[in-house]
Structure 1
Amino acid sequence: METWVDGDIRYSAYDLSSRLSNATSEFEPNPHHIDYIPHDKTIEDSEKLFGIGKDMWRNGRGWAIERITLTTHSGTHLDAPYHYGPASGGRPAKTIDEVPLRWCFGPGVVLDVTGVDRRKGADEHDLQRELDRIGYRLQPFDIVLIRTDASRYFGEPGYQYKHTGLRASATQWLTEQGVRMIGIDAWTLDRAFDVMVEEAKDGDTEQLWESHYFGITQEYCQIEKLSALADLPRPHGFRVSCFPAKIEGASGGWARVVALYTEPA
């Protein structure tokens, strides 16, 4: 958490993003890799680009860069409606560069589903009870953050199976309240794949990826792999910023997600 004062306002910013690193890649179903190229190793690039060598640069050092191999769904990221299917609501689904900025900044509310059985998943009644408990009424364009505490296991084997996901009825109910951005501190917004796959093999294929697939009916975005929701000082009364990288035609984009609280200085 970082704090600063600007005029008469004190800001407290909580970073809700997971750290992307090579240490997490081994356990990530969408693997990634970061090559770190230090200052003294970019001189060759300088010679190719500008025709100047090591002797031209202060202390013989140029710039540091990183080359990264990853998917748009690595680390903390937004899923665009196009991720769920090519169409949504009978129209072409928005890609990440088409997602309205209005969806990406607004009042935040944390809904704690840690007490809901992960195999059952959280339905609309679970969310309504939690809203009653914290005394909050949803408004259009609220950004709803689902707390499962699975982020405590980020970087460990089996992280992607540790959470309680949303059933389609919960996702539908949220969008009916005007919510267009739903986040979760887990690998996916749906129930864990081990649960969904087991049920699909037993014959129930309708539940497979059901919250994602609901996005074919009604456009919405989701934020996956959030962290530190348990550290927030109160479950509402703050703003969330979750602007994604602008990647043409992409199904997702990485985001630095921040919860911002304000109070008189």
Structure 2
Amino acid sequence: MTQIIDLSVSVSLKGNLKVMPQIIYRRHEDTPKFFAEMYGMKAEEFPGGKYCASETVTLGTHNTTHLDAPYHFWPTSEGKPSKTIDQVPLEWCYGDGVILDFHRKKKGEGITAEEVRQELARISYTIKPFDIVLIRTDTYKRYGEPGYEEMHPGMTREATLWLLNQGVKVTGTDAWGWDRPFEVMVAELKAGKKERFWEAHWVGKEKEYCHIERMANLDKIPQPFGFKVAAFPIKIEGASAGWVRAVAILED
């Protein structure tokens, strides 16, 4: 039997994120008036005084669970124009999943290449090309709380580059972002450590890859590997990211 585990957060008006979506809900009683003029009708002509429910959503492409395209990181990657989200090969977005568990790391800490190798040794797994490597921090459990955006550990440049050198094209995290929290990087930047600013994102300048941010339920997957990940992005022409309904697929 196939088991599918949802790895995405909801688009919701609940919570206290720094950037919130806007959702206009039009219930069945509301839509006759809204659509009447469009269809050349009067609201009272709709049978039963009702029509199909509808919503209008205003949402940034980097809000909720999303896939960052190479274009997000820099205009070029590997010396060529960076792929926008509609140009990302769909083959990259479906593959064998691997979970690296760093949920005991503290917020603001960086995950090193050596720690990645140690975790792979612990679970007895060797990365292969096109694996989708997921970083578990459990920060998703705080999604929507004040300060959520600054609660996570993040990947370093060296750790990201090491994964990409193994042939990985898509990575993911259940935290707000792939790098360490923005406030940590800004403090380092102001202290003169320019090389630490957005260090993992900017690996994309030299190695083409994508990452999924704001995933959920990585702790619900019962094994660190031996499952598939599907995370196909919405096709937005020329965009730097697209929303995904990421899932893990397990077969008995």
Specify the TM-score bucket, using the shorter chain as the normaliser: over 0.9
* Secondary structure of 1:49 counterpart: helix
* 4+ runs deviating over 4 angstroms: none
Aligned to 1:13: 4
1:155 to 144, 159, 183: 144
Letter in 2 for 1:78: L
Aligned to 1:141: 130
* Secondary structure of 2:134 counterpart: strand
Cα distance in structure 1, aligned partners of 2:185 and 2:18: 16
Q: CA RMSD in A?
A: 1.3
Q: Which runs of 5+ in 2 are unaligned?
A: none
Retained in 1: the 8 A contact 2:134–2:171?
yes
User: Per-residue displacement from partner, 1:122-145 (whole Å, max 9, x unpaired)?
Assistant: 011111111111111111111011
User: Per-residue displacement from partner, 1:182-201 (whole Å, max 9, x unpaired)?
Assistant: 10001100001121112111
Q: CA deviation at 1:257?
A: 0.4
Q: CA deviation at 1:55?
A: 4.4
Q: CA deviation at 1:45?
A: 3.7
Cα distance in structure 2, aligned partners of 1:177 and 1:56: 63
Which structure 2 residues correspond to residues 14-29 of structure 1 after superposition, within 5 A?
14-24=5-15, 27-29=16-18
User: Per-residue displacement from partner, 1:210-236 (whole Å, max 9, x unpaired)?
Assistant: 111111111100100001111111111
Q: CA deviation at 1:94?
A: 0.4
1:79 to 64, 68, 73: 68
Q: Aligned pair 1:186/2:178, yes or no?
A: no
* Secondary structure of 2:97 counterpart: strand
Aligned to 2:22: 33
Q: CA deviation at 1:115?
A: 2.9
* Secondary structure of 1:67 counterpart: strand
Give the structure-1-normalised TM-score.
Answer: 0.92
Which structure 2 residues correspond to residues 54-203 of structure 1 after superposition, within 5 A?
54-203=43-192
* Secondary structure of 2:74 counterpart: coil
Cα distance in structure 2, aligned partners of 1:175 and 1:158: 30
Q: CA deviation at 1:117?
A: 4.2
Give the structure-2-normalised TM-score.
Answer: 0.96
User: Per-residue displacement from partner, 1:232-255 (whole Å, max 9, x unpaired)?
Assistant: 111110000000000000001100
Cα distance in structure 2, aligned partners of 1:73 and 1:236: 27
User: Per-residue displacement from partner, 1:153-206 (whole Å, max 9, x unpaired)?
Assistant: 101001111111000101101111111111000110000112111211111011
- Relative to structure 1, the CA distance from residue 46 to residue 32 in structure 2 (aligned partners, 3 Å threshold; closer, same or farther) is closer
Retained in 1: the 8 A contact 2:178–2:213?
yes
Which structure 2 residues correspond to residues 216-231 of structure 1 after superposition, within 5 A?
216-231=205-220
Cα distance in structure 1, aligned partners of 2:145 and 2:236: 29
* Secondary structure of 2:194 counterpart: coil
Cα distance in structure 2, aligned partners of 1:33 and 1:77: 17
2:225 to 217, 236, 243: 236
Q: Which runs of 5+ in 1 are unaligned?
A: 1-9
Letter in 2 for 1:200: L
Range with bigger deviation, 60-69 or 140-149: 60-69
Letter in 2 for 1:161: E
User: Per-residue displacement from partner, 1:47-83 (whole Å, max 9, x unpaired)?
Assistant: 2222233444332211111111121011000111111
Letter in 2 for 1:80: A
Cα distance in structure 2, aligned partners of 1:145 and 1:78: 13
Q: CA deviation at 1:262?
A: 0.4
Cα distance in structure 2, aligned partners of 1:210 and 1:82: 16
* Secondary structure of 1:23 counterpart: coil
Letter in 2 for 1:217: E
* Paired positions, count: 252
Aligned to 1:207: 196
Retained in 2: the 8 A contact 1:30–1:73?
no
Cα distance in structure 2, aligned partners of 1:119 and 1:157: 16
* Secondary structure of 1:197 counterpart: helix
Retained in 1: the 8 A contact 2:106–2:152?
no
